[in-house]
Structure formats: structure tokens, C-alpha cells
Amino acid sequence: MIITYYGAEFFKVQFGETVLAFNPVSKDSKLKGTRFGADIAVVSINHKDMNGVEQLSFGERKPIVIDGPGEYEVKEIFIEGWKSQSSYGGDIKINTSYSVTMEGMTLCFLGALENEKALPPQMLQSMEEGIDILFVPIGGEGVLTPSDAYKLAVKLEPKIIIPMHYNIQSADKSNLKTFLKEAGEENLKAVDKLTLKKKDLEGKEADVVVLAES
């Protein structure tokens, strides 16, 4: 599995020939976006900064779009979405938080989650079996603050924590600095991509990985 970050909450997850994308930036957004072909597009919130599925069609590859609560199975990938909420962009909107199981690993993508109370108990119960990789927003202003994000991340007990959304408001890096300070990782360096196999997760407990924006 190879995870690449394109800023905001936009990730590309590739395993073999299959490509999955989370919260792609729309061409109508003021944020920087990118375009590539994906098999599956997972969208947590209907906002132009995160719903750009039109950017994921390339050549003959057009994505299957998953954009709300429910249970899905695509290409032997199991996805479950739970309804939460967010006030990102100023208005209260539905935000869907997802778990994605593939290659024997479980990814939890919180999307633009506003606060821990917005997570339904059913999701927390489902996650009791363990999270391998947690994607958590840390930007404030409609999503989790850096401090609340770290507290929730630790509570969910993932093996790896990947922060996101910290660069969405401006070039100010204070949100990321605050989050890393909470984690005791002030000197942590960003990596270009994260390449993982199931065996690489052995012994990891809430390890923070910062991905550089591609």
C-alpha cells in the first residue's frame, strides 16, 4: 500500500493496480488540486474543497463514488460509512466518517469531523477491533482542533496516525506544530509517501506520520 498526500484532506491510496482517493479537491475550489485516475472515490462532505470526483477520471478509468453512510464492497474492499457532522465552510453539514478494510488492514478516515461527540456510538463499537491507520483533521474552524484531534486519536488506539487539514486555511503551520507537540513529536520530519505492508505495523502504537504535500 502506498499513501500519497495532496493537501487539505486529499489522499491517494494505491495497492497493486487499484487506486482509491479520499476527499479530492474540486476544480472549483481555491485550493490546489491534482488529477489522476482512481477506481474508488470516497467523499466525506459535500464541499468543493473535498468533493472533486471529476478530477479522478483519467483515460478509461472512472471512479465508483462513495459519498455517504452505509456499507459497500468494491473490488474486495470493504467500506463502511457513519453519519457525523461538520461546520466546515460555515454551515452545519453532514460529514461521513469511514472505515476501509483492504489488504488485511483497516483505515479510518474521519473526514471533516467537527468534534468527538459527533461520532455515533456504532462507529466506536465497530472500531474496537482495531484501527491500523487513522486519518484525522487537525485544522479547527469547523473541524477538530489540534488538541482535540490528538486526544481522539489516542482514544481510538490506531497503530499509525496521519494528520490532515492543517494546511487548508493558509500557509500557517501552527496547527501541525501544536498537534506534534501534543504527541511529543516536535521534531518529526515529513515523508514524501508512506509505503506499508501489514507486517510493518507490528509493534506500532499511535505512531504519528506526517506526509509532505505532493
Q: What is the pLDDT of residues 139-185, one digit of tens each?
A: 888 999 999 999 999 999 999 999 999 987 655 678 999 999 999 99
User: What is the rounded CA–CA span in Å between residue 184 and residue 186?
Assistant: 6
This prediction's pTM:
0.96
Where does residue 23 fall: left (phi above 0), alpha (psi -120 to 50 degrees), or beta otherwise?
A: left
101 phi and psi angles, rounded to 5 deg: -110, 120
pLDDT at 172: 62
Residues with Cβ within 8 Å of 5's Cβ and at least 6 positions away in sequence, in order, are: 11, 162, 164, 211, 212, 213, 214
Q: What is the pLDDT of residues 119-144, one digit of tens each?
A: 988 888 888 789 999 999 998 889 99
Q: Which of 19-23, 74-78, 123-127, 210-214 has the lowest mean pLDDT?
A: 123-127
**Cell for 74?**
468494491
Residue 108 predicted with pLDDT over 80: yes
Given a contact cutoff of 8 angstroms between Cβ atoms, the answer to whether 115 and 85 are in contact is no
Q: What is the pLDDT of residues 24-82, one digit of tens each?
A: 999 999 999 999 999 999 999 999 999 999 999 998 899 999 999 999 999 899 999 99
Domains of the chain: 2-208 (3.60.15.10)
CA distances in angstroms from 37 to 61, 107, 184, listed in the order given: 5, 21, 37
pLDDT at 140: 85
Dihedral, CA of residue 163, residue 93, residue 88 and residue 144, to nearest 10: -40
User: What is the rounded CA–CA span in Å between residue 52 and residue 54?
Assistant: 5
